[in-house]
Chain A
């Protein structure tokens, strides 16, 4: 049975509160008291919410994020920022764009881990903006601007050592 997205979220909450209760049982009485006082009613509420979410939708199968998206799109059209045809194309691709942005975020985190902040941020900016088909001039100046801002603001002024990434650690011969 395919669930609507919001039902998945309620299911997630059931698992969350259930795990909390099971986990809390391992601790002594004092440590488990308040987690149970909070967790048990929340579990009950999560279950009832899940049941509510399973019931038939009055509007035809519109998911939470699509509803949100529709609202934004309507405003943009109303302001004549994008045209009607563009909207048709865009509404159908919501799921695809959701996964794309999640991919990009995870990609940035992976870059951060390997290359550290100073390299990953300009790198990501360039790749992302080119993916969005922005002109090279804009892309490079944004990347440069960000790099300068970050470098000056944090590393120099605040004297904070930013995460250097595995590669730099390797290059500098540090553990």
Chain B
């Protein structure tokens, strides 16, 4: 196996592979920054160029872009509170940091955490190769269901002000996720006979609405000043470099989040959005001062960003090991890989282990290089938070509405975003945690589906499976821990 590792490095560093990877990294970064666009478009653009490339070169070409799509995405989230789906968790603390004038620090932290996440994800990918089959197969619908429960306990964790408000926000989010066709019964729920709502409400619209649009309303009321409520000269230690240092100061959290993200990416049952939110919730819960979150705590940026990038490395595992792509982006990637000559399965992990390792190396390199490139110009971008509102408002609105339209290319998207903007503003004004809402939405329908699926497959006995029991224990411990902590804080 060691020779495969080295040979893989050799393949990844070959002139052709490396230079093509360098070419596609900027494409991935740019696509990641534009809200609503994302990796699949990039793949559609790049795939015709792969024709005729030798396999390792083709992989480097495609993976170079794919690896860094999530690296650039925190930038609009931090600067404009305009996320693109998975990066939404970064808004919750990233934007308040920009408001404090610490946009540079936030972006530095996000980027460094992304880099660490990507590298750790690649390492996890490499480490799990020998044990991939039993690990992935140990997680089935019952385990996914209990994992969603663990995630749902974070709904309460994020409710720093009032538990009731947090639970209601989470409940609202879950209900929104139920809109559309129910996979268990075929019933179209809560759609008011609108064909547009048949497929449900798209999370991109919701997230752009409750964060970006709500923020525009606030900026409109504020009228003077800028996003940052401080002047650039007054903020000490707020630069990009500080953000990078933060990643290493909180290295334990960053690494933990990367590992969790990698695992969630590997067992695709939960999906990409869940990874960043679960890690965010974990960051809040594991902090000694959770009340700082939501107001500009740098850990609230580190955790989700690390998870966002590490899950890609995790996602390659089932794709390569079983030919089962972890997500639609992976499906396109797999198709491309197969045309380039890859045959997924046991053969891949034994005879062609060096190719797998070359992918691991490409992931690691692309992530680090992508981060370095971004860090170069992000310091300048941070100044955007000091631009006055009259320019910023049209800027944010344009990007927000454009990004939300791209969710399903239906004008209905814009209406949903507007409605969510109103709700988001209300939630912000009346202290309902928006993070709990989004988490509820991300996990709601998933938890329901897995509950019914588990019952369908195993009856109530599904609760007795070992990993399920372990996860239930985690849920109970988490709840008890939170209750104790809340008591302690009240008496303080």
A touches B in complex, CB < 8 A: yes
A residues sitting closer than 8 Å to B (CB atoms) are: 5-6, 9-10, 12-13, 16-17, 20, 23-24, 27-28, 30-31, 34-35, 38-39, 41-42, 45-46, 48-49, 63-65, 68-69, 72-73, 75-76, 79, 81-82, 86, 90, 94, 97-98, 100-102, 104-106, 108-109, 112-113, 117, 121, 124-125, 128-129, 132, 134, 138, 142-143, 146, 150, 153-154, 157-163
Contact between chains at B45 and A159 (CB < 8 Å): yes
The docked-state distance in angstroms from the alpha carbon of A75 to that of B451 is 48
Binds A, one of B132-140, B165-173, B279-287: B165-173
Would you give the shortest CB distance from A175 to chain B, in whole angstroms? 15
**Does the CB pair A64–B429 fall under 8 Å?**
yes
Give the residues from 370 to 402 in chain B that come closer than 8 angstroms, CB to CB, to chain A: 390-391, 393-395, 397-398, 401-402
Q: State A30–B401 Cα separation when bound (angstroms).
A: 36
B391 and A101: CB pair below 8 A?
A: no
Which one of B220-228, B310-318, B321-329 is at the interface?
B220-228
- Is B229 part of the contact surface with A, judged by Cβ < 8 Å? yes
Q: Is the CB of B391 within 8 A of A72?
A: no
- In the bound assembly, the distance between CA atoms of A24 and B179 in angstroms comes to 11
CB 8 Å contact bits of B423-454 with A (1 = contact, 0 = none): 00010111100000000000010011001100
Q: How far is the CB of A94 from chain B (nearest CB, A)?
A: 6
Closest 7 pairs (CB-CB, A-B): A101-B220, A42-B171, A64-B429, A132-B390, A125-B394, A31-B187, A34-B448
- What is the 8 Å Cβ interface bit string for chain B, positions 67-81, against chain A (1 contact, 0 not)? 000000000000000
- Please, which residues of chain A bring their CB within 8 A of the CB of B401? 108-109, 112
Taking a contact as CB atoms under 8 Å apart, the answer to whether B31 and A154 are in contact is: no
Give the interface of B toward A (CB within 8 A). Answer: 30-31, 34, 37, 41, 45, 164-165, 167-168, 171-172, 174-175, 178, 182, 184-185, 187, 189-190, 213, 216-225, 229-231, 234, 390-391, 393-395, 397-398, 401-402, 405-406, 409, 411, 414-415, 418, 421, 426, 428-431, 444, 447-448, 451-452
Cα distance, A9 to B398, chains bound together (Å) = 28
**Could you list some 13 contacts between A and B, CB below 8 A?**
A10-B430, A17-B171, A28-B187, A30-B452, A42-B171, A63-B429, A64-B429, A72-B222, A94-B221, A98-B217, A105-B216, A105-B421, A109-B415
Task: Report Cα–Cα, A129/B406, bound state, in Å.
Answer: 26
A72 to B41, CA, bound (A): 40
Once the chains bind, are B168 and A105 in contact (CB under 8 Å)? Answer: no
Q: In the complex, which of the residues A17, A129, A163 contacts B394, with contact meaning CB atoms closer than 8 Å?
A: A129
- 17 A-B pairs besides A16-B172, A34-B178 with CB distance below 8 A are A6-B430, A17-B171, A28-B187, A31-B182, A81-B225, A97-B220, A97-B223, A104-B393, A105-B217, A105-B397, A106-B418, A121-B394, A128-B393, A129-B390, A129-B394, A150-B402, A158-B37
- The answer to whether A30 touches B168 (Cβ under 8 A) is no
Check B426–A12 contact: CB distance below 8 A.
yes
**A41 contacts B171, C-beta separation under 8 Å:** yes
Name the distance in Å between A52's Cβ and chain B's nearest Cβ.
9
Question: Do residues B229 and A102 form an inter-chain contact, with CB atoms below 8 A?
Answer: no
Q: Is the CB of B164 within 8 A of A154?
A: no
- Interchain CA distance A157-B428 in the complex, whole Å: 36
Residue pair A90, B224 in contact (C-beta under 8 Å):
yes
Q: Which residue in chain A gives the minimum CB-CB distance to B217?
A: A101
Q: How far is the CA of A136 from the CA of B187 in the complex (A)?
A: 55
Q: Which residue of B lies closest to A138 (CB)?
A: B391
User: In the complex, A10→B401 CA distance in Å?
Assistant: 28
Residue in B190, B225, B452 whose beta carbon sits within 8 Å of that of A20 in the complex:
B190
Most chain A beta carbons < 10 A, residue from B185, B398, B411: B398
